């Protein structure tokens, strides 16, 4: 996050000789810090490789493979057992089907036997009724014969014939009487013998009907017994079928459990193999990232060293920066006595104190600045960038940095103190800009809000290499130097270092500031 603690304070005059001596010292400090923190200056390179994934050993993978093999054998045996159980179930199903059809046959036979018994019973009843009717007819005929014989004996055959007609109750009776008379007239004994034969035949039919009834009853009884036997056979077959089904279900459960274990073992093998492959990919990525980091580090180091060499060789820029610094008040000193000299230079820690003299406080005014560059054009832009890039890796120090290089920071009673900025030699964001542009003869105040109005404001969408980028309301939070291609040079915050970062567009002010063109 950008540091919101940029502020402006007055400067204490420092002797020019000590200022010039400090220039060389600060370049040495910058070079030392550069090598230690170059990797942090390359955004998207450091810490790009994730932590290594698990890398299972060959023993782990072999053990997982053995577990799969053992589960395969177990599952195979259970599958064979299930196949055997299925075959047994099929046989039992066939047996039950046969026995079920046996029950159906017994039921059909039972119904047929019952129907036959019912028919035989009806025949027996009819025969008995016919036999009874025949006996009645014989008795009636016997009575009529006796009456006729008696009448014939007392009255003669002619009167008897006429009397039979006159005494009849209808045509049938007349015919019967006529028949009897005719039979009697032919042969009384023959008529009686015929009736007796009819009675005997009817008695024989009754006897046959009784026998048929007895046979039908026996068949029905046998059918009932076969039905009971068939039902018992079905019950036994179904019990066996259920037992076999239960056994099959048990085997299937065991198979499913073994299959689950097999799947888990296979998954474990696949997972270990995937982990091995992932680890191999990680190794390749790590090697590529290490090579990229090494190349980027070498390139950054070379760029920073070259920039530092150009800055060190540019005596004119050094002189311009020293001239600007000469006679400036130190921004870490709150003593209003501008005439008092001191042996403390800008690299000495100074804690704000209460002034010893009682004077009427003066209204703070914006410090005088020189915004007219001594050099212009693309060479001036590159000189400012070179000066800033030469400080890559130098620690962030709140309140640190001036025209000649890094200085000790100051206390803020909070975040900066927790990082020990007051005891670090380095730059904060606006201090880095002061150093970068001092070589062009440009004097900037140590406050981002004032730096925002120090040069020509251009829309941020039109910023060019060498422009200053600002963040926060009225540029009150942060400033960085635009390098082009979406990159910027900045001293970001306590605990960090001067580095190159991707441009952050969130929170950016509407304008960038162009100091030289």
Tell me the catalytic residues: 429, 478, 490
Residue pair 494/417 in contact by the 8 Å Cβ criterion: no
Beta bridge partners of 502: 487
In angstroms, rounded to a whole number, what is the distance separating the alpha carbons of residues 308 and 392? 10
Beta bridge partners of 458: 512
Indicate the length of the chain as a whole number: 517
- For 67-71, the CB contacts below 8 A with 24+ separation are 67/265, 67/268, 67/269, 68/262, 68/265, 68/266, 68/269, 71/258, 71/261, 71/262, 71/265
- Give residue for tokens 């809000």: 449
Best CA proximity match to 414, nearest among 472, 303, 337, 494:
494
First vs last C-alpha separation in the chain = 30
Q: In Å, what is the CA distance from 52 to each residue of 49, 279, 426?
A: 8, 7, 35
In angstroms, rounded to a whole number, what is the distance separating the alpha carbons of residues 334 and 312? 32
- For 493-496, the CB contacts below 8 A with 24+ separation are 493/1, 493/2, 493/3, 493/396, 494/3, 494/396, 494/398, 494/415, 494/416, 494/418, 494/419, 494/421, 495/396, 495/419, 496/40, 496/395, 496/396
Quote the distance between the C-alpha of residue 320 and its chain's center: 66
- Count how many Cα atoms sit within 13 Å of the Cα of residue 245 in the half-sphere of its side chain: 8
> DSSP 3-state assignment of 502?
strand
> DSSP 3-state assignment of 317?
helix
Residue pair 467/381 in contact by the 8 Å Cβ criterion: no
Instruction: Write phi, then psi, for 488 (nearest 5 degrees).
Output: -145, 155
Q: Which residues contact 86 (CB under 8 A, 6 or more apart)?
A: 248
> DSSP 3-state assignment of 490?
strand
In angstroms, rounded to a whole number, what is the distance separating the alpha carbons of residues 470 and 448? 8
- What are 259's two structure tokens? 């299959």
In angstroms, rounded to a whole number, what is the distance separating the alpha carbons of residues 240 and 89? 9
Element containing residue 100 per DSSP (H, E) = helix 58-155
């Amino acid at each position: 996050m950008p540091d919101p603690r940029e502020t402006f304070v007055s400067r204490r005059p420092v002797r020019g000789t000590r200022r010039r001596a400090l220039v060389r010292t600060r370049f040495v400090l910058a070079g030392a810090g550069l090598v230690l923190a170059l990797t942090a200056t390359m955004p998207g390179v450091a810490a790009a490789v994730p932590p290594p994934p698990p890398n299972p050993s060959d023993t782990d993978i072999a053990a997982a493979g053995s577990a799969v093999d053992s589960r395969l054998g177990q599952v195979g045996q259970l599958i064979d057992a299930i196949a055997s159980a299925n075959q047994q179930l099929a046989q039992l199903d066939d047996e039950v089907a046969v026995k079920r059809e046996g029950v159906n046959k017994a039921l059909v036979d039972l119904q047929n036997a019952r129907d036959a018994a019912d028919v035989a019973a009806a025949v027996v009843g009819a025969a008995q009724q016919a036999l009874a009717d025949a006996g009645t007819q014989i008795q009636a005929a016997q009575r009529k014969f006796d009456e006729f014989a008696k009448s014939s004996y007392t009255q003669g055959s002619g009167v008897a014939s006429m009397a039979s007609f006159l005494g009849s109750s209808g045509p049938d009776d007349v015919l019967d009487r006529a028949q009897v008379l005719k039979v009697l007239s032919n042969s009384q004994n023959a008529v009686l013998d015929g009736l007796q034969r009819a009675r005997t035949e009817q008695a024989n039919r009754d006897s046959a009907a009784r026998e048929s009834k007895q046979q039908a009853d026996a068949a029905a009884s046998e059918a009932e017994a076969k039905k009971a036997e068939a039902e018992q056979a079905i019950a036994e077959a179904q019990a066996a079928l259920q037992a076999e089904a239960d056994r099959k279900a048990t085997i299937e459960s065991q198979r499913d459990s073994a299959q689950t274990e097999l799947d888990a073992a296979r998954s474990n093998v696949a997972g270990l193999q995937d982990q091995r492959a992932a680890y191999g990919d990680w190794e390749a990525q790590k090697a590529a990232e290490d090579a990229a980091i090494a190349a980027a580090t070498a390139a950054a180091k070379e760029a920073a060293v070259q920039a530092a060499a150009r800055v060190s060789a540019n005596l004119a820029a050094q002189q311009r920066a020293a001239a600007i610094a000469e006679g400036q008040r130190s921004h870490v000193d709150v003593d209003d006595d501008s005439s008092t000299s001191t042996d403390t230079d800008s690299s000495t820690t100074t804690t704000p104190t209460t002034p010893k003299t009682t004077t009427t406080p003066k209204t703070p005014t914006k410090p005088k600045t020189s915004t007219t560059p001594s050099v212009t054009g693309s060479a001036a832009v590159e000189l400012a960038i070179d000066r800033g890039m030469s400080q890559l890796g130098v620690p962030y120090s709140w309140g640190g940095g001036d025209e000649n290089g890094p200085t000790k920071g100051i206390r803020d009673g909070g975040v900066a103190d927790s990082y020990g900025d007051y005891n670090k030699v380095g730059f904060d964001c606006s201090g880095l800009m002061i150093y970068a542009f001092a070589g062009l003869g440009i004097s900037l105040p140590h406050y981002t809000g004032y730096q925002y109005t120090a040069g020509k404001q251009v829309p941020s969408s039109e910023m060019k290499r060498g422009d200053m980028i600002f963040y926060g309301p009225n540029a009150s939070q942060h400033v960085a130097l635009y390098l082009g291609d979406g990159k910027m040079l900045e001293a970001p915050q306590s605990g960090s270092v001067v580095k190159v970062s991707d441009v952050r567009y969130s929170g950016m002010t509407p304008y960038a500031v162009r100091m030289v063109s």
